[in-house]
Homo-oligomer: A and B are copies of this chain.
Amino acid sequence: MNGDKLRSVSEKTINRLSLYRRLLENRFGKGHEHVFSHELAELACVTPAQVRRDLMCVDNSGSTSRGYSVQELVREITAVLDAPGGQRIALVGVGNLGRAILSYFSGRRPGIAITAAFDSDPSLAGRVINGCRCHPMSELSEVLRGSEIGAAIVAVPASAAQDIADRLVAAGVRGILNFAPVPLKVPEGVFLEHRDMTMSLETVAFFARRSLGDAE
């Protein structure tokens, strides 16, 4: 990787780098060979200072009065975010949400692919959904150990989530994106992101209501 700088990069910065890259990719070639921090900030809905701070961890030097080369910036962010040979992800839970995730990510990012799915429903075993092969849950450890999968998405019911997480960690997974509506316990060193939709929706509902109340 990029050595010392990256060891201390915050999660929020990585989040925004991912966003910056996508925004830049969408604009490149459309008459935008260069971009200023305030332009990228406008696209990303953050401040220019935030953009420049975030970019301190990539090996790119913007030029004064011309800004950043879009192409170079994309390349440098990619050098930070993507694994050189691409990265494989597993999906556990092929219900409504799991399928939506599969279809959503199918070919969306070149550097990342969901290459194995698991579900407790045996009738799914062997099926291929959006280019991803489904396996029975019992094969989880076996399939993961035979692959280069280091991260996984959990989209199972709350009751099954912790057990799945334990098995994923035991099989060597070091990053989990959790959509189950329950917090997971993972050992030190395993990165965990909890994306609880109920939490998100209740929070939006609360602040929408408070905002209405404030206006009256």
Q: Could you list which residues of chain A lie within 8 angstroms of chain B, going by C-beta atoms?
A: 1, 6-7, 11, 14-15, 18-19, 22-23, 43-45, 80-81, 83, 87, 89, 96-97, 99-101, 103-105, 108-109, 111-112, 150-151, 153, 173-177, 181-185, 189-191, 193, 195-215
What is the distance, in angstroms, from A112's C-beta to the closest C-beta of chain B?
6
Q: Is B100 within 8 A of A202, CB to CB?
A: no
Given contacts A19-B196, A196-B19, A209-B83, contact A45 B176 (CB under 8 A): no
CB–CB A202/B150 < 8 A? no
Complex interface: chain B residues within 8 A of A43 (CB): 183
Please name all residues of chain B whose beta carbon is closer than 8 Å to the beta carbon of A189 when the two chains form the complex.
Answer: 211, 214-215
**Do A212 and B97 touch across chains, with their CB atoms under 8 A apart?**
no
Which residue of the partner chain, among B22, B87, B182, B185, contacts A181 with CB atoms under 8 Å? B22
Question: Hey, which chain B residues are within 8 Å of A153, CB to CB?
Answer: 201
Contact B183 A204 (CB under 8 A): no
Query: Once the chains bind, are B173 and A208 in contact (CB under 8 Å)?
Result: yes
CA distance A200 to B121 in the complex (A): 27
B207 contacts A14, C-beta separation under 8 Å = yes
11 inter-chain pairs at a CB distance below 8 angstroms, sorted by A residue, are: A7-B210, A18-B199, A23-B182, A45-B185, A81-B206, A87-B205, A87-B209, A105-B197, A174-B209, A176-B204, A190-B211
Q: A11 to B184, alpha carbons, bound, how many Å?
A: 21
- From residue A160, how far is it (CB to closest CB) to chain B in Å? 14
- With contacts A183-B19, A195-B195, A199-B18 taken as known, whether A175 is within 8 angstroms of B112 at the C-beta atoms is no
Asked if residues A204 and B99 are in contact (CB atoms below 8 Å), the reply is: no
Q: Nearest residue in B to A213 (C-beta to C-beta)?
A: B1
- Residue contact B209 to A150, C-beta cutoff 8 Å: yes
When C-beta atoms are compared, the residue in chain B nearest to A186 turns out to be B45
8 A-B pairs with the lowest CB-CB distances in the bound complex, closest first:
A175-B208, A191-B207, A151-B208, A100-B100, A96-B100, A174-B211, A45-B183, A18-B202
